[in-house]
Amino acid sequence: MQTPLKTTLSINGTRHEIEGDARLTLLDALRDHLGLTGSKKGCDHGQCGACTVLLNGRRVNSCLTLLCMHDGDEVTTIEGLGTPDTPSDLQRAFVDRDGMQCGYCTPGQICSATAMIEEIRQGWPSHASEGLEGEVAPTPAEIAERMSGNLCRCGCYPNIVDAIADVIAEEGP
Amino acid sequence: MNRHHKMDSADRQNRLDGMAQGLIGTDVPRPDGMAKATGTATYAAEERREGMLHGVLVRATVPGGRVADVDTDALAKALGDDVTVITDARLLQVPAQGTDGKAPPQGPDLVHYVGQPLALVVAPSFEVARHGARLLGIRYEGGEEGHFDPEDDATPTELRDKKTVDIGDLDAAMAKAAHSVDAVWRTPGHVSAAMEPHAAVAWWEGEHLTVRSALQMLKFNRDELADALGIPAENVRLLAPFVGGGFGSKLGISHEAVGAAIAARQLGRPVRVVLSRQQVFEAVMRRSETRQHLRLCADEEGRLTGIGHDCLVSNLPGQDFAEPVIQGSRFAYAAPNRHLSLRLARVNRTCAGSVRAPGEAVGLTALENAMDELAEAIGIDPVELRLRNVPEEDPTDGKPFSSMMMAEVLREGARRFDWQRRNPIPALRREGDPRREWLRGMGMSLLVRGNILDEAEARVRLLPAEDGAPVRAEVETDMTDIGTGSYAVLSQIAAEMLGLPMERVTTRLGDSALPPSPGSGGSWGAGSSGSSVYLACLELRTRLARALGCDEGELTLRDGQATGGNHSRPLAELLDGGTIEAVGHIEPGKTAKERRQATYGAQFAEVEVSRHTGEVRVRRMLGVFAAGRILNSRTARSQCLGGMTFGIGMALSEELEHDPRDGHLVNRDFAGYHIPVNADVPQLEVHLMEERDPWANPMQSKGIGELGICGAAAAITNAIHNATGARVRDYPATPDRVLAAMAVAN
Ligand code: FES
Ligand code: FES
């Protein structure tokens, strides 16, 4: 048997000390150890994005990283972005635009979009951008390109793009 | 008291149109939307039980034979006795097929395909169970040669006689036709690939078993699970309040629920079993690959004189399910000479079963490609060709249509898409300049899908005003919402019928203890379950009318106020502190046999194809749909978006690949099996047409969940032809195939 490892990290602003198997992924720690089941497991292989969380502000696939690698890190999950009573703008926009059907990819989409909007603001270029320098125009093609790490089998992509575009338009660049 | 209705005659009362709340058909948001957006909606694997153990299934690495020995030495040495290995004879060989209601083939000692689960390893943590599953040593014996290629001459096949349609003389019609098409299409296997992998958490209380699982049809699943375990169905309760997509993959009880239930019983603790993504690919249903021989012939004016559609599909030996490829060809177009047949090859590949719109999804695709080729051969517009062949009655059995919108969807789609801009000469032949990499083309296809009503029950309760809270309603049924919008639609029907705002209706679903429904599948969910809710509400309205002193027909219910026969009183007063409830029960009847009921759609796509790489990008896509009364325009639209997106995947990227030596699935994850990503899908346009189908059900609605995929891929491949002149008849149209077809065409 493996000796459990202790990891201390901040999740949604709260400090957690978790003892777990060295092979425990960040995703399984969230879901099975802390009961933060908003982050979903669609593939466990970094292929679907359902497990997307924010790690020190950047989006990552939490199934692809082990908990024990994150001592001292700050993690934000879908639960940390908003609640049914106090949803974030993106959470509200996803509901307004029906950016979901079964809802299984939705938390990952929203976490991903939260970080993605910030990436656009900071001018990170993508394959769909006009060039490498300067401001990025948040066109549907740009949003779609940057959201392509989050699979949705229900086929909500057009609504997801609309929801994100709404939030970018409301909040300004 | 209950209200029962059997659909024996057309219902032209259109009662829903006369209601006053003004909700039906509108785009009210899903009541469950915010729970999903905030991660508070929980799915099967997220059920937390005290002392829960974790199970991981072990897969067969050979395609046949018998398990001679399961060696647990290595496992015991590494992991000690924390780990239990279960090889119970009740473990499933394959999941149940949709609506089976009985156990599928069981007994993990006999192997039929690579990836078949053979044992369950249970441990205190997922990490240890997964490790244990790797250490299990399985020795096989025997295993005479299996068959792995459906088209190999040595592979046994059987004709599905009952499906054969043979009317007139197709050979003669082909021989003397002015124009004809005679070619073979192939579609590869597909998977549903719902984003939530199959999962079950099982626990026992005495003789009573509860399983939280990812399932589409609880009424059938309960019987299947009980039968598999050898216990009475009354002792089984299934819970599936949220299901992360289904598309057919969760129709029947599967390995994880049976394994978890057996392990939980044996170990006296709750057990969770979740399939890995690879196991979902290998051990759950695939859509069969198809080989489709299409023959179409027409006169000078483009009137079809014959349709031939002869197909080969596959499944495991012993399985009855055969992808019903020719289902749509039975009635899509009029033609006096018809030959339709279906042949089933027996291969040792993952079990074949339902994937979104079995039959029409692939069958219409090939038919609609053939129609495009025929239009080109005749030299008429593809929309016009279809309009010239609208059938007046079901051309196979002569039944009248219930209501049919084929011409309307075609015309409306052509208008909205600006189809007249399409140049019938492929862009490549027009644009000689090779520096212009991207070639544009437009294509279209007709979509059809049969409509089904199934028996369903629902309970609706009106609760009195309490503690300052106003009158509320509750809807209860074992129906599931797999993303389809059942929570929204059922609440909406009750709210409309009872004159309450949406937020005053709560719908409870996904619990086998609630009144039975046929579940989610075959696009029958909203129509069947919705009708049972409608009937229960009709009964409640009758009682409210009596209390008010008028006929139900005169009663107007709106915003909690009842009006009728010169009276007007708040519902709260009529209920007088009491609760009233009724069960509605709908049953299919004569209308199912007397009329051909079908939904229609037309899709239009504009693509760009790289002349150098063969890459295809869908730039624009429109779907126009007619499916009777639309109950919720928002969730209906989303269902159509989903179907169209499946269509893009089918056209361009989705393909199961089997190793020819042992049939094993080579691409069993999302890195190898490419479902569309966001950037593959343009901002799709959906238009829903007004229609009422009085023969379908008392709401005049028809199913819409599968219509969007039925032939969708053909609009894209027809557009590829319009761009490049290439005819890709082997799906999907990947760059290599497009380039090869371009070389042939030009
Ligand atoms: S579960 Fe992490 S990417 Fe799929
Ligand atoms: S909403 Fe079902 S997978 Fe995206």
Cα separations (Å) of B581 from B475, B480, B503, B535, B629? 10, 21, 19, 12, 26
Percent of chain B predicted with pLDDT > 90: 97
- Same domain for A20 and A69, yes or no, is yes
Question: What pLDDT is recorded for position B1?
Answer: 62
Residue B69 has pLDDT above 70, yes or no: yes
- Same domain for A99 and A63, yes or no, is no
Q: Residue B467 — pLDDT band, cuts 50, 70, 90?
A: confident
What does the mean pLDDT of chain B come to?
Answer: 97
- Name which residue leads in pLDDT, B81 or A8: A8
Cβ–Cβ below 8 Å for B40 and A141: no
**Mean of pLDDT values over B446-472:** 95
Question: What pLDDT is recorded for position B369?
Answer: 98
Rounded CA-CA distance B301/B285 in Å is: 44
In sequence order, the 6+-apart residues with CB closer than 8 A to the CB of B454 are B518, B522, B524, B528, B588
Percent of chain B predicted with pLDDT > 70: 100
Helix axes B360-378, B633-652, angle to 10 degrees: 70
Enumerate residues 705 to 724 of chain B having a beta carbon within 8 A of any beta carbon in chain A.
none
In DSSP terms, B313 is beta-bridged to: B344
- Same domain for A77 and A127, yes or no, is no
Domain hosting residue A103, numbered range: 89-171
Q: Residue B468 — pLDDT band, cuts 50, 70, 90?
A: confident
- Same domain for A106 and A149, yes or no, is yes
Q: Domain boundary at A28, A47, A81, which?
A: A81
Q: Domain boundary at A27, A52, A81, which?
A: A81
Is some CB atom of chain A closer than 8 A to the CB atom of B41?
yes
Q: What's the pTM?
A: 0.98
The enclosing domain of A110 has a CATH number of 1.10.150.120
**Mean of pLDDT values over B573-594:** 96
Rounded CA-CA distance A88/A82 in Å is: 5
The pLDDT tens digits for B398-433 are 999 999 999 999 999 999 999 999 999 999 888 767
Residue B662 has pLDDT above 60, yes or no: yes
- Same domain for A12 and A62, yes or no, is yes
Please name the residue whose Cα sits nearest to atom 3 of ligand 1: A46
**Mean of pLDDT values over B200-209:** 98
For an interface test with B, give the residue of A24, A54, A100, A101 to mutate (most B CBs within 10 A): A101
- Same domain for A47 and A93, yes or no, is no
The enclosing domain of A63 has a CATH number of 3.10.20.30
Q: What are the DSSP calls for B681-734, one per residue?
A: S---EEEEPP---TTT-TT-B---TTGGGTTHHHHHHHHHHHHHS----BSS--
Q: SS3 of B197, please? A: coil
Report the domain count for chain A.
Answer: 2
Report all structural domains of chain B as residue ranges with CATH numbers, in order of start.
2-41+453-593 (3.30.365.10), 359-451+597-745 (3.30.365.10)
Question: What pLDDT is recorded for position B117?
Answer: 98
- Same domain for A11 and A41, yes or no, is yes
Q: Domain boundary at A81, A114, A144, which?
A: A81
Ligand 2 neighbourhood includes B37 CB (under 6 angstroms) = no
The pLDDT tens digits for B356-402 are 999 999 999 999 999 999 999 999 999 999 999 999 999 999 999 99
Cis before B732 (ω within 30): yes
The pLDDT tens digits for A59-75 are 999 999 999 999 999 99
- Same domain for A94 and A72, yes or no, is no
- Same domain for A138 and A158, yes or no, is yes
B706 is catalytic: yes
What is the mean pLDDT, run by run of 10 residues, along chain A of 173 residues?
A: 85 96 97 97 98 98 98 98 98 98 98 97 94 92 98 98 97 72
Rounded CA-CA distance B130/B631 in Å is: 45
Question: What pLDDT is recorded for position A4?
Answer: 84
- Same domain for A122 and A61, yes or no, is no
The pLDDT tens digits for B248-303 are 999 999 999 999 999 999 999 999 999 999 999 999 999 999 999 999 999 999 99
Rounded CA-CA distance B453/B483 in Å is: 20
- Same domain for A71 and A129, yes or no, is no
ipTM: 0.98
Residue B459 has pLDDT above 70, yes or no: yes
Cα separations (Å) of A68 from A16, A72, B413? 13, 10, 56
Enumerate residues 83 to 102 of chain A having a beta carbon within 8 A of any beta carbon in chain B.
83-84, 87, 91-92, 94-96, 98-102
- Same domain for A62 and A93, yes or no, is no
Amino acid letter, residue B309: H
In sequence order, the 6+-apart residues with CB closer than 8 A to the CB of B8 are B589, B590, B591
Residue of B nearest to A151 (CA): B677
Cα separations (Å) of B33 from A99, A119, B198, B240? 9, 26, 22, 17
**Mean of pLDDT values over B200-218:** 98
Helix axes A157-171, B633-652, angle to 10 degrees: 120
Amino acid letter, residue B112: H
